[in-house]
Structure 1
Amino acid sequence: MIYPLGHLGIALMEWVLLGWGILLWRLSPSLAMIVLPLLLASLSYDNFILSIGNLIGEGELLEILSKVRFLLHDLIVPLFIVIGVELAHRAGAAWATTIVRVLSWVVAFGLAGIDVTTNYIGLELEPRFFGGILRYSAANLSGPPIITIVVNLFMLLIGIGIWVRLKWSWLFVGTFIALLGNAMPSSTVGTLPGSASELVMALSLLLTEHKVQIIGKKLARNQQQEKIFMANKNPETAFEWEHIIPKDGYKIYQSGSHIKGNFLQVFAPDAPYRDGEGKLRLITYLHGFALCLPKFYQSHLE
């Protein structure tokens, strides 16, 4: 009963992840979160049919339901490419341009078409029993699932890029586990390891989307704070700078005096550096007495 109950448990968990994916999409609509629920629904259907195959029994009904399994797999798996490109775009990857995002759909549909024409059309199924599971598998196909492995390798590269850019390794780990799970021969270990690894990959995708949303919110908040700062240093606002000194690549905003104890200078770069989370870095010097002029530490500020 381990394998049937395992597949049923995975199917239920994938529906939970599907609900989370819809929630993430409502918080921040993106193409990745439109495609991922479709993928989770397909994976959940696959696991549910595997879990009840022995209850349905060998025959035409189970064979038809199994053909739907294979068709959904051929159509949905290439869409991982779309999800990966969208996550890279939202993570700030320079290469994930609008053209690349459009091409990802073209490539995904192209791979799906190749998979359907070469593997699904003319598909012959035969019943097999393993670990308490009765399922129909392809009788006229041999060798590893090339397109699935290619898609996993592509997602592995996306995971490495996001790991480097955001210091976030979960997408790489989830994709690597899925690659190992899909590489295991189902004739030897059954279908449960592969299905479990796909669940881990789906979870890593959702966690990555959640991480990207958090970074996006921080970036938006920082941009708003920057706008407020830029408005406050404008001489036309309530706070007036006495001097605005343009320099090569930056400006110096100055007001007050040392004698009065309210001397203030702001060195503002024309193109501020941002860290991986979109934050601006600030160096602050605080003086409690009028000992010296700024020129003694101005070189460091510059």
Structure 2
Amino acid sequence: MDGYLYFLYTLIYIGILIFSIDRRNIISYSSRRSFIYLVIVGLIVDNAIVAIGRFIGEGSLLENLSYLRYWSHAFLTPTLVIYCIGILEKSKNINIRKTALYGATLITILLITVEIQSELLNLTLQPQWEFGVLRYIPTEISYGPPIMILIVTFILLLTGILLWIFEKWIWMFVGASLMTIGSIVSFPIESGAITNGFEVILIIFLVFTKRHVERDL
């Protein structure tokens, strides 16, 4: 069951990426908001590797692809901080100063560095079969989300709240809230792909938020 879900998530992300690219608005490609595209590409890679794991089988190929999953996650997920500042700088009612822009870049770099040092430098993987899915997971199990995820989630929620207050746009906050709930609530469902489903919902709301703030470009 989960294997099909990961295939489905991969196809949905590809569809989201195609939908989110506005060919009429080339300027938006170079904006800070366009970091969402990199995050989507990372999620396509992540879900595709998990989906095809059982077909590849245990071995060095799947293990190396799994390392790619973890490294891409470490480099791409923190860029959501830059995406958030790019969203806020388009608000007519929020004044974003250059120090905030520099701060967002610095936070992103720090989060990538922390993730690499705490999660990846000594990372070793082992195969695991779960709900019909073969993936490689860390041999040392960490309890609770990494600090990088916690900070990125907090910034997403804060950005969503600011947009709700100043722009009357609630949907980014809704998406971030659902993602948070999906990460901390244990659902009575035999599946390891539930959290990934909430990630899909979050990305959909982030893409719609990008299109919303760029509607006047």
Q: Percent identity?
A: 24
Residues 1:154 and 2:155 are matched in the alignment = yes
Q: What corresponds to 1:68 in structure 2?
A: 68
Deviations 1:244-271 (A, max 9, x none): xxxxxxxxxxxxxxxxxxxxxxxxxxxx
TM-score relative to the length of structure 1: 0.66
Q: What corresponds to 1:10 in structure 2?
A: 9
Deviations 1:104-159 (A, max 9, x none): 11110111011011110110111111111011111124121221122111110110
Aligned residues: 214
- Structure 1 residue identity aligned to 2:202: M
User: What residue ranges of structure 1 are gaps of 5+ in the alignment?
Assistant: 218-302
- Structure 2 residue identity aligned to 1:125: L
Q: Do the aligned partners of residues 92 and 141 (structure 1) sit closer, same or farther apart at CA in structure 2, a change above 3 Å counting?
A: farther
Q: CA RMSD in A?
A: 2.1
Q: What corresponds to 1:267 in structure 2?
A: none
Q: What corresponds to 1:168 in structure 2?
A: 169
- Secondary structure, counterpart of 1:65 in structure 2: helix
Q: What corresponds to 1:55 in structure 2?
A: 55
Q: What is the Cα deviation at residue 50 of structure 1?
A: 0.8
In 1, distance between residues paired with 2:62 and 2:55?
A: 10
Q: What corresponds to 2:203 in structure 1?
A: 202
Structure with the larger helix share:
2
Deviations 1:268-291 (A, max 9, x none): xxxxxxxxxxxxxxxxxxxxxxxx
Deviations 1:157-208 (A, max 9, x none): 110110111211110111111222333579x965411211111111111111
Alignment of 1:226-237 (within 5 A): none
Q: What corresponds to 1:37 in structure 2?
A: 37
Q: For the Cα contact (< 8 Å) 2:156–2:176, is it kept in 1?
A: yes
Q: What is the Cα deviation at residue 27 of structure 1?
A: 5.3
- Structure 2 residue identity aligned to 1:169: I
- Secondary structure, counterpart of 1:90 in structure 2: coil
- Structure 2 residue identity aligned to 1:34: S
Q: Do the aligned partners of residues 10 and 193 (structure 1) sit closer, same or farther apart at CA in structure 2, a change above 3 Å counting?
A: same
Q: What is the Cα deviation at residue 64 of structure 1?
A: 0.5
User: What residue ranges of structure 2 are gaps of 5+ in the alignment?
Assistant: none
Residues 1:117 and 2:117 are matched in the alignment = yes
Q: For the Cα contact (< 8 Å) 2:33–2:84, is it kept in 1?
A: no
Q: What corresponds to 2:20 in structure 1?
A: 21
Q: For the Cα contact (< 8 Å) 1:21–1:33, is it kept in 2?
A: no
